[in-house]
Amino acid sequence: MSDQDMLLPLVGDAKPPSSASKAAPKKTEMKKWQKKMFEDAVGVSLALVYFALTTILAFADVALKDYGLMDQWPLGAIGIGFVTTVCANHWLSRPQRFEAYGFAILLAVLARAIGDYAVFARCGLTASFWAIVLGIGARFVGVVLPGDVLDQGEFFIKIGVSLLAMDYANIVAVGGPGLVVAWVDTALVMGAGYVLTTAPLFGFCMTPQDGIVIAGATSICGSSAATAIATAIYDEDADGGGGGGAKDSKNPKFAQDTIIALMGLFNTPLMPLLPLPATLGSTRLNAKVIGAWIGGSIDSTGQVIASASLGSATVLRTATVVKIAQNFLIGPVCAVLAGLFRGSFSPREVVRQFPVFIVGFFLTSAVVSALKYAGPHHAARGDAVDTAVDNSWFVAEWVNLIGFALIGLKINLRKFFHLDGPAASDAAEQRALAAKETRVLQAYVLIQALDLCTTLAFAYAMFHGADASDDDTAAF
């Protein structure tokens, strides 16, 4: 059964394009990289508007966290969610789909309510975790939202990352050691993963293209890296990778499609496990070590934020900076790989794959630092600036929760475990599909295990002596 056949009434009557519409002449559209940059720019613009409003409220002595009563925060969450979706869809000329986005917002509110229970909070199972779990559960029982809605999970996360404003002093404190974790460790894991998947010695015997997609996606930043690398190395007319191609063993982008599904599935249990040392008050691993470990080893940016949010504010700050530094690698890596695999090296690839949402993070952080330190009376403004940061993080939490719910709704366990029947047309193709999926799964597990071990080693070496005096401060 296809996703389209499973659509519920709440998401509208989406119909497949008719043969006439397929035959219609194509309109001039933006290229994929241009569309991605424009979407990121819209997300940054929304984040800056939110940040300006929350900063004004802070200097008016209004702290949003004071409105945390049960009859108050759901209204604020629903308001933030619908304002974000309406504005973004209007600017991007997308259908509003109020019912679909409303369902994701409802899951975010429910996740916050569950995560607020003391028994779950003590175990570190806060709202971020429950938003993804509820999304996975809803998808499993048959709730399937339109694909253009499910694809917006990372869009919400990017807005949330832009709103995680922090003093530049905190960024500098992560600085050099964070770059070692984000760049040196990532390069080593990516190289080792490529050798593991392609060398005959290890038995996987994958093509160089499949091997580098799996290694790059696992070591850098998940689905974003998988899509960017596949675009850089495969032929333009290769099917798959979200292009609507069927998932079969002959699909040129089979590895990309499979690894994206695997990362979404297997990173979910890692989310509550990696912050456990911080939650349990470990004295061997301080908050910066744990944050760098999370930021460097969990694949997608969204799941990094979700996992680090289960720890302290220091864990979240460190994980965010490390993951942002990792995101910077996408452009240069894609440029080099395009030259190696297609003989078309171009510095423009660095620009095309540049993660624009990072600009929003640095802009909001720059404003916070300027307000805190500019002028002779900066100490008097300290409380207002701290409140502005708290307000910004408050909005970031809700935007992120909606993104986490959409990420969960995109993870299709039924399809992964073939619960809806065979996806292949005959038994031979089904066996070939299963065999190739198994090889990708085994390779991913090995590379992910290597990534977890080496990242922890690098994080401990870089941050074990760091001062993390605010480890007991909750992230959200």
Q: What are the two backbone dihedrals, phi and then psi, of residue 312, each rounded to the nearest 5 degrees? A: -95, 175
pTM more than 0.85: no
Lowest mean pLDDT among 235-249, 329-343, 382-396, 446-460: 235-249
What pLDDT was estimated at residue 16? 47
Tokens of 263: 């990362």
DSSP 201: G
pLDDT for res 281: 66
User: What DSSP assignment string belongs to 324-373?
Assistant: HHHHTTHHHHHHHHHHHHHS---THHHHHT--THHHHHHHHHHHHHHHHH
Mean pLDDT of the region 437-448:
89
- DSSP E strands, 14-146: none
Nearest to 2 by CA among 243, 247, 240, 237: 247
Calculate the CA dihedral of residues 315, 321, 323, 326 and round it to 10 degrees.
-150
Give the pLDDT confidence score for residue 268 in this predicted structure.
80
What pLDDT, on the 0 to 100 scale, is given for residue 70?
53
Q: Which pLDDT band holds residue 236 (cuts at 50, 70, 90)?
A: low
pLDDT given for residue 376 in this prediction: 58
**Pick the residue with more confidence: 418 or 299?**
299
Span 136-150, pLDDT tens digits: 999 999 888 888 898
The dihedral over CA atoms of 240, 254, 303, 317, expressed in degrees to the nearest 10, equals -90
Report how far residue 149's alpha carbon sits from residue 155's, in angstroms, rounded to the nearest whole number. Answer: 10
Q: Using 50, 70 and 90 to split pLDDT, how confident is the model at 25?
A: very low
Closest alpha carbon to 256 in 298, 235, 226: 226
pLDDT exceeds 90 at position 203 = no
Which of the residue ranges 98-112, 120-134, 244-258, 329-343 would you say has the lowest mean pLDDT? 244-258
- Longest C-alpha distance within the chain, in Å? 76
Most confident of 10-14, 366-370, 428-432: 366-370
Separation between Cα atoms, residue 359 and residue 121, nearest integer Å:
33
Q: Which of 236 and 402 is assigned the larger pLDDT?
A: 402
Flag whether pLDDT at 178 surpasses 80.
yes
Average pLDDT along the chain:
80
pLDDT band at 128 (very low <50, low <70, confident <90, very high): confident
| Three-state DSSP class for residue 474 | strand
Q: Distance (Å, rounded) from C-alpha 119 to C-alpha 406?
A: 25
Kindly state the percentage of the chain with pLDDT values over 70.
Answer: 81
